[in-house]
Structure 1
Amino acid sequence: MPRSRYKSLVDSFAADIRAGRLLPGTRLPTHRQLATTEGLALVTASRVYAELEAMGLVSGETGRGTFVRETALAPGSGIDQKAVAVGMIDLNFNYPSLPGQAELLRSALRQLASGGDLEALLRYQPHAGRPHERASVARHLRARGLTVEAGQVLIVNGAQQGLAVTMMALLKPGDVIAADALTYSGFKVLAEALHLEIVPIPVTGQGPDLDALEKLCRNRRVRAVYSMPTLHNPLGWVMSAAQREHLVTIAHRHELLIIEDAAYAFLVENPPPPIAELAPECTVYVSGLSKSVATGLRVGFIAAPLDKVPALERTIRATTWNTPGVLTAIASTWLDDGTVMQLEAEKRKDAQARQALAAQVLAGLRYISHPSSYFLWLPLPEDARADQIAMELMHEQVAVSIAEPFAISVHVPHAIRLALGSVDMDTLRKALVKVKRVVGAYA
């Protein structure tokens, strides 16, 4: 087939989609039907659809076919914060805040201003943080069930930078890293930016399929596994003690590095011990204060085996040099005086209240969540498409995340994630009513 004819077919489909002549959700002919109708080789028909998919105009779904996408929906809905326009009710991102937190900050700044350490905060800080601040984090982590010393702690600019530092320092381009087939979208973006090959671990209702991980490690040279054992984002599970032991056994057998993301772990009361407590020699634990305190307080921390600390410290030096001294000083004070523990307890109650509200409003819809989490996962009815649902909700002034940014497997489920922690309760109720109405229309 001459290139001009092949390109004209792609252009024709693209023009029809953009002009609305092919509506979102339209099922296109199968590859074989297109080849027969247009007199193409099957491989060429497949190439036409592949190019349309690369343009973001269609999506191919295993066992279902090729469908026209909702092109008015912002690309990467669930990752790009700019997708949430002014006036939208934001169920896309979580930035939970409690009444009185601004006054806490005002008081902390006054206390800092009256102290005698201000001049020190104007200078460069040690790359991993000042020793007394690292000790504050270590004490906090011990209260969470993780036994670490100050020398194992590195302070970073939020948990996301903690993940970036860990992956940059301890992995190299081309390395294979395993992660749950549905996982934190920020990890996915980061792994792709660092040219790491992500391979999916199938998920079950209770956690990752660890037998599948074992098989994967026998067939591939997997270098690391990324895990959220305590409050998985977006599926809300908490891995059992037995599952954690199983993962550790696999890691030891195949010499895996475990990256434990504990950003939401504070929301779970009395969870099993962190994986880093079970396997301290091969686990890097990453968390921070963005969710437990405030997203604007960009203070995170890494707890790592001592032999990995120098590489992590060099990477901090090469990227940001150190965390901002003022923010870290405030965070350290709040860790020491119990403010962080108090806020964590209050936010657990807040998340539980929001989950109770969701259960009430969404009654009759099937969804997946944890009773103390700030999000829930809503699989859609068989005939519903996530991009169409998200677009309908956008017209209702509600922004949600679709499944695509969280999926690392070939099959992307039709589901949406609802973040519950960014609006007041009355606004949340109104938004959930709209979600119930839009999704319920497909049931």
Structure 2
Amino acid sequence: MILLPAPMATSPHTVASCAIQASGSIDGDRELQNLNLVMGSTRRGTIVTGDGAMPRVDRAASPAGIIDLTVNRPAIDDFQQRLAQSLPALSSDPRFGQMQEYQPPEGPAWARRAARKWISLNGFDPSEDDIVVTSGAQHALLAVISSLIEPGDTIVCDRLTYYGLIALAQMFRFHIIGIGSDEQGMSAAELDDICGREPVRAVFTVPSMHNPTVVTMSEARRRELVGVAEKHDLVIIEDDVYGPMLGTHASALITLAPARTYHISALSKALAPGLRVGYLTCPPGRALLSAEAVRTTAWMPSPLPLLLATRWLEDGTAEAILKAQLAELRARHAIVTTILAGHSFSADPRCMFLWLRLPAPWRCEDFAANLRAHGVSVMAATAFACDRQPVEHAVRVNVGCASSREELATALRIIAATLNDRPRALAGLV
């Protein structure tokens, strides 16, 4: 019996073949091979190949009739086709035999060597001894937090910040203080002021295409921030998951303060969120402490995704997917600038989301609710607030989340029309 994965588009001939195969005839197997849907191999059985046309990813998590622009995901689905093509070849890799074995918590040496190629896209080349491989960026952040931060400690971050940090604060019971930012990034002056008034253990920042405001921190601001961290002996947690998409950009904070910076990179934003592989670069001599956190939380990074990611970094597949992703984002950015012309927003043609500022009298929650009533879902600014301080009335719109350029254009037209409308009550209150 042959089991085909549910997402695979099967023709009537394929269905017929499966029925024949189920009845015990070998002709069905031959027909599937002729259709390039499976391949036979001695000792490996029948393998579903990736040579047939692959369907677009089913984004079924969204309710029917809703265009979901809330999720940070790549704008293309090259990953699916590449994965189908790559899986049959994994078993011939010399490292495949290690898939059933325990691995070092920091990841096998071959995975850390390949990681250097991806991390170099952030503008530096670390020693593999300083790299800890994790199951994604959130796992890397957890490894840093759990190994360095005690209950009651304080971490300073942007007032609008990555929700994963907020969730960890609730879990590990440390405090978060949000500070302001401007067009150059997080305010170094405000960080200095906070540290002068109360003890702060670390600063968390997303310096490249900050989520959700899209701001990329200037070189001058990075150096100011590092200066404050050195003055007050702060740990720097640099979430640089969008860095590989920027190309040439300002210095990574870890290159300015290598002895106090933990740098996080991952494959999920540029390649696919389902590929849970992250890379944590630690200060010299500190990797074993973070690796112990990986051992405690997951024992080790899962070796099969590591092998796939490593092969893609070695053979250029990862770079090819990244280039295709950037090309699609540029095309979508052109749609954004056309349809939202005249409105206030921050965007970057290399970024998968934009930050849309709302005109008065719109409030961000009301705008998001009205949009959803018209079939479009976005994230209100309050979803990123680390505390109860007021935030600007804006929404994050994920241009990569739409299933096509046409769907994106439809959603943007609804957004533009809503911006030009006035707030309307969705339900009566008595």
Q: Normalising to structure 1: TM-score of the pair?
A: 0.79
Q: Give the counterpart of 1:384 among 355, 358, 362.
A: 362
Output aligned runs, 1:200-219, within 5 Å: 200-219=178-197
User: Structure 2 unaligned runs (5+)?
Assistant: 1-58, 424-430
Partner of 1:73: none
Amino acid aligned to 2:375: Q
In structure 2, the residue corresponding to 1:293 is in which secondary structure? coil
For residues 86 and 166 of structure 1, do their structure 2 counterparts lie closer, same or farther at Cα, with a shift above 3 Å needed?
farther
1:439 aligns with 2:419: yes
Aligned partner (choices 128, 131, 134) of residue 153 of structure 1: 131
Q: Report Cα offsets for 1:242-290 as digits up to 9, x if no partner.
A: 1111111111110000000011112212101211111111000011000
Aligned residue in 1 for 2:315:
337
Post-superposition shift, 1:140? 2.7
Tell me how far apart the structure 1 counterparts of residues 133 and 168 of structure 2 sit (CA, whole Å).
19
The gaps in structure 1 that reach 5 residues or longer are: 1-80
Equivalent residues of 1:401, 1:417 under 8 A apart: yes
8 Å CA contact retained: 1:268, 1:348: no
| Secondary structure of the corresponding residue to residue 117 of structure 1 | helix
Distance 1:442 1:83, change over 3 A: farther
Q: 1:253 aligned to 231, 235, 252, which one?
A: 231
- Read off the aligned partner of 2:92 and give its amino acid letter: S
CA distance in 1, matches of 2:406, 2:328: 13
CA contact (8 A) 1:164 1:190 kept: yes
Aligned pair in 2 of structure 1 residues 97, 357: CA closer, same or farther (>3 Å)?
Answer: closer
Change (3 A) 1:330 1:224: same
Deviation of 1:189 (Å):
1.9
Q: What is the root-mean-square deviation of aligned Cα atoms in Å? A: 1.8
1:60-103 Cα offsets, whole Å, 9 max, x none, are xxxxxxxxxxxxxxxxxxxxx99842442110002215254322
For residues 280 and 404 of structure 1, do their structure 2 counterparts lie closer, same or farther at Cα, with a shift above 3 Å needed?
same
Aligned equivalents of 1:116, 1:211: Cα separation in 2: 53
Alignment of 1:196-235 (within 5 A): 196-235=174-213
Alpha-carbon distance change, 316 to 111 in structure 1, aligned in 2, over 3 angstroms: same
User: Counterparts of 2:291 and 2:126 in 1: how far apart (Å)?
Assistant: 17
1:30-69 alignment, distance < 5 Å: none
CA shift, 1:183, in A, is: 1.4
User: Normalising by structure 2, what TM-score?
Assistant: 0.81
Q: Deviations over 1:193-237 (max 9, x none)?
A: 221111112111221121111111111111100011111111111
Q: Which residue of 2 aligns with 1:136?
A: 114
Q: Deviations over 1:345-399 (max 9, x none)?
A: 2222222222221111111211122232111111212211222221121122211
Pair 1:227–1:82, CA change in 2 (3 A)? farther
Show structure 1 runs of 4+ deviating over 3 A. Answer: 81-84
Q: Report the Cα distance in structure 1 between the residues aligned to 2:102 and 2:366, rounded to whole angstroms.
A: 50
Distance apart, 1:107 and its partner CA: 2.0
The residue that corresponds to 1:175 in the other structure is: 153
8 Å contact kept, 1:178–1:226: yes
2:77 & 2:274 partners in 1: Cα distance? 15
Distance 1:184 1:355 in 2: 23
Matched positions, count:
363
Q: Is the 8 A contact 1:157 1:300 kept in 2?
A: yes
Could you tell me which residue of structure 1 aligns to residue 332 of structure 2? 354
Task: Give me the whole-angstrom Cα distance separating, in 1, the residues matched to 2:401 and 2:65.
Answer: 13
